[in-house]
Amino acid sequence: MNIMNQKGEHALHAVIVPTPAQGHVNALMNLAQLLAIRGVFVTFVNTEWIHERVVEASKKGKSLVSKDNLELEQQGWRIRFLSIPDGLPPNHGRTSNGAELMVSLQKLGPALEDLLSSAQGKSPSFPPITFIVTDAFMSCTEQVATNMSVPRVIFWPLCAAASVSQCYANFLVSEGFIPVNVSEAKNPEKLIICLPGNIPPLKPTDLLSFYRAQDPSDILFKAFLYESQKQSKGDYILVNTFEELEGKDAVTALSLNGSPALAIGPLFLSNFLEGRDSCSSLWEEEECCLTWLDMQQPGSVIYVSFGSIAVKSEQQLEQVALGLEGSGQPFLWVLRLDIAEGQAAILPEGFEERTKKRALFVRWAPQAKVLAHASVGLFLTHSGWNSTLESMSMGVPVVGFPYFGDQFLNCRFAKEVWKIGLDFEDVDLDDQKVVMKEEVEGVLRRMMSTPEGKKMRDNVLRLKESAAKAVLPGGSSFLNLNTFVKDMTMSKGLQSKNETM
Ligand SMILES: O=c1ccn([C@@H]2O[C@H](COP(=O)(O)OP(=O)(O)O[C@H]3O[C@H](CO)[C@@H](O)[C@H](O)[C@H]3O)[C@@H](O)[C@H]2O)c(=O)[nH]1
């Protein structure tokens, strides 16, 4: 790929900075590929902790990223990987202590700027940096973009409604909705209808769960309010959703300063439909589960995964296990690497023996391929936004079992707004409550074998169709991404004009 375009100008060069967590890295890696296909050079900056895991997972899998090959060169497009320390000691429990991680990330600006400046000088095969795409929760990029005089593009990895609620968090403080009073969540008069964007009315418990802390000096509470201030100041806004799902107004509401705001998702879907691997798993994907799925009846398997961060108590996992057993359906369950060692302890006695003819456990699955498999009929999920998007894009209904952050909103919207699934009663009011096996079994049976479940399957199949339309050539997200690249080209032109003035 030539660093000059046909007009003799430098090609575009995007720096992409994800929040260091699986869901965020996946979405932005998919964006990196879609930009690269459109002729943009990409520098992808992970924290060292994430980078080491991607390299390690790719050694065992078939991904193209390795320690010696830190550039992904495929079909003429160029993505370069750089990494930066996250400021925490190596043995820090990053995902279990999100507050310390977030505070540390907020201070990364100077190190990021140093890294990019030295990379600019060292690599003549990459043109000068033209813009930074920053995860909405990486406020440290603000000063870097200003100092480098390049546009700062804010990428929202959440659905538009959750993004709007976060973007307007300081306003919600002034309206008295934050801190969230969980006990008022059932009061119909407490619905939040003051947010812009024509988003459905929100319940207080739909807001990011970090705002439930009643003590405003809580570290996460403060950190998310701080991010909110920075999130309203982007030069361009991109959201991982599609207009047909959430409407244009919800996306436009994310621009408080008149900057363009566009929906470009589901980001993984066009790569998936066109057979491109996202190369961003933090753990090795156990492809063997696909062969197991081949042997199951169409639409019969319940896929169970609670994403990369959510941790359910042992007692809760035991009840989930017994509920799955009682459902009578085959199931594929992702028990993550970090907790899989304790697998014997969390699974009820005799459970593995009793279910061995219809159960498979893996540590990490090729999730999109699993959801696309004809044998999968239901997804029991923590309702992370990527999992929700992947499920609807593959036409698989969901049972939501949220844990934190935006998952409560995603879960409720799946049930009440998009009508593609169910959840468990009252989980959103008290996440300490254990959902018992009878309820787990009951909800799974309602989804798998009642007319109500069939209706939700029909609804999700309609969404599957509109998601594919959105990302394929001529679709809303496809065209929005083209518009974005064109606008970045223009803003580059404007910049060089300003420089010569
Ligand atoms: O066995 C597995 C399990 C998951 N995944 C992938 O991992 C990602 C998980 O993303 P997500 O469903 O969004 O969950 P988290 O990793 O928990 O994501 C965090 O980031 C999301 C985006 O900001 C938020 O919506 C979530 O609430 C937050 O927990 C998805 O792309 C999955 O395909 C796999 O590849 N294999």
Per residue in 27-65, pLDDT (tens digit) is 999 999 999 999 999 999 999 999 988 888 776 655 555
What spacing in Å lies between the alpha carbon of 39 and ligand 1's midpoint?
28
* 344-349 mean pLDDT: 71
Q: Which two tokens stand for residue 82?
A: 């750089």
Q: What is the ipTM of this complex?
A: 0.99
**Which among 113, 123, 111, 55 is positioned nearest to 84, based on CA atoms?**
111
**Residues 355, 424 contacting (CB under 8 angstroms):** no
Q: Which long-range contacts (CB under 8 A, 24 or more apart) does 272-278 make?
A: 272/368, 272/372, 272/393, 273/468, 273/471, 273/472, 276/33, 277/62, 277/63, 278/26, 278/29, 278/30, 278/33
What spacing in Å lies between the alpha carbon of 408 and ligand 1's midpoint?
14
Closest residue CA from atom 6 of ligand 1: 367
Determine the pLDDT at residue 164.
Answer: 98
* 253-276 mean pLDDT: 95
Determine the pLDDT at residue 386.
Answer: 97
Query: Looking at the chain, which residues constitute the CATH 3.40.50.2000 domain(s)?
Result: 13-279+473-500, 288-467
Lowest mean per-residue pLDDT among 112-116, 164-168, 311-315, 467-471? 311-315
* 439-462 mean pLDDT: 98
What is the rounded CA–CA span in Å between residue 397 and residue 67?
Answer: 39
Q: Which two tokens stand for residue 491?
A: 């803003």
What spacing in Å lies between the alpha carbon of 310 and ligand 1's midpoint?
9
Please identify, by atom number, the ligand 1 atom nearest to the C-alpha of residue 381: 12
What spacing in Å lies between the alpha carbon of 157 and ligand 1's midpoint?
10
**Residues 466, 244 contacting (CB under 8 angstroms):** yes
Closest residue CA from atom 9 of ligand 1: 23
pLDDT band with cut points at 50, 70 and 90 for residue 258: very high
Best probe residue, ligand 1, of 22, 53, 371 (max atoms within 8 Å of C-beta): 22
Please identify, by atom number, the ligand 1 atom nearest to the C-alpha of residue 22: 16
Best probe residue, ligand 1, of 382, 386, 403, 404 (max atoms within 8 Å of C-beta): 386
pLDDT band with cut points at 50, 70 and 90 for residue 276: confident
What spacing in Å lies between the alpha carbon of 422 and ligand 1's midpoint?
19
Please tell me which residue, 414 or 434, carries the higher pLDDT value. 414
254 phi, psi to nearest 5 deg: -80, -10
What sections of 38-97 are H helices per DSSP?
Answer: 48-60
pLDDT band with cut points at 50, 70 and 90 for residue 343: very low
Q: Which two tokens stand for residue 110?
A: 């100077």
Pocket around ligand 1 at a 6 A CB cut-off: 21-24, 26, 157-158, 281, 305, 307-310, 334, 364-365, 367-368, 384-387, 390, 405-407
What spacing in Å lies between the alpha carbon of 19 and ligand 1's midpoint?
12
Quote the percentage of the chain above a pLDDT of 70.
89
What spacing in Å lies between the alpha carbon of 381 and ligand 1's midpoint?
10
Torsion of CA 11, 48, 269, 58, to 10 degrees: 110
* 175-201 mean pLDDT: 89
Classify 343 as helix, strand or coil.
Answer: helix
Please identify, by atom number, the ligand 1 atom nearest to the C-alpha of residue 405: 27
Pick one of 3.40.50.970, 3.30.70.420, 3.40.50.300, 3.40.50.2000 as the CATH number of 13-279+473-500.
3.40.50.2000
What spacing in Å lies between the alpha carbon of 386 and ligand 1's midpoint?
5
Q: Which two tokens stand for residue 238?
A: 């991109």
What spacing in Å lies between the alpha carbon of 454 and ligand 1's midpoint?
26
Determine the pLDDT at residue 74.
Answer: 60
Pairing of strands 331-334, 77-84: unpaired
What spacing in Å lies between the alpha carbon of 41 and ligand 1's midpoint?
26
The pLDDT of residue 265 is above 70: yes
Torsion of CA 278, 281, 285, 290, to 10 degrees: -40
The pLDDT of residue 67 is above 70: no
Closest residue CA from atom 4 of ligand 1: 307
pLDDT band with cut points at 50, 70 and 90 for residue 215: confident
Please identify, by atom number, the ligand 1 atom nearest to the C-alpha of residue 404: 27
What spacing in Å lies between the alpha carbon of 252 and ligand 1's midpoint?
25
What spacing in Å lies between the alpha carbon of 22 and ligand 1's midpoint?
6
pLDDT band with cut points at 50, 70 and 90 for residue 347: confident
Please identify, by atom number, the ligand 1 atom nearest to the C-alpha of residue 365: 1
Q: Which two tokens stand for residue 430?
A: 């008290």
Please identify, by atom number, the ligand 1 atom nearest to the C-alpha of residue 386: 13
The pLDDT of residue 1 is above 60: yes
Please identify, by atom number, the ligand 1 atom nearest to the C-alpha of residue 281: 35
The pLDDT of residue 107 is above 70: yes
Q: Which CATH number is 288-467 given?
A: 3.40.50.2000
Determine the pLDDT at residue 187.
Answer: 77
What spacing in Å lies between the alpha carbon of 28 and ligand 1's midpoint?
12
Closest residue CA from atom 35 of ligand 1: 367
Give whichever of 305-314, 377-386, 485-494 has the largest mean pLDDT.
377-386
Closest residue CA from atom 3 of ligand 1: 307
Closest residue CA from atom 18 of ligand 1: 23
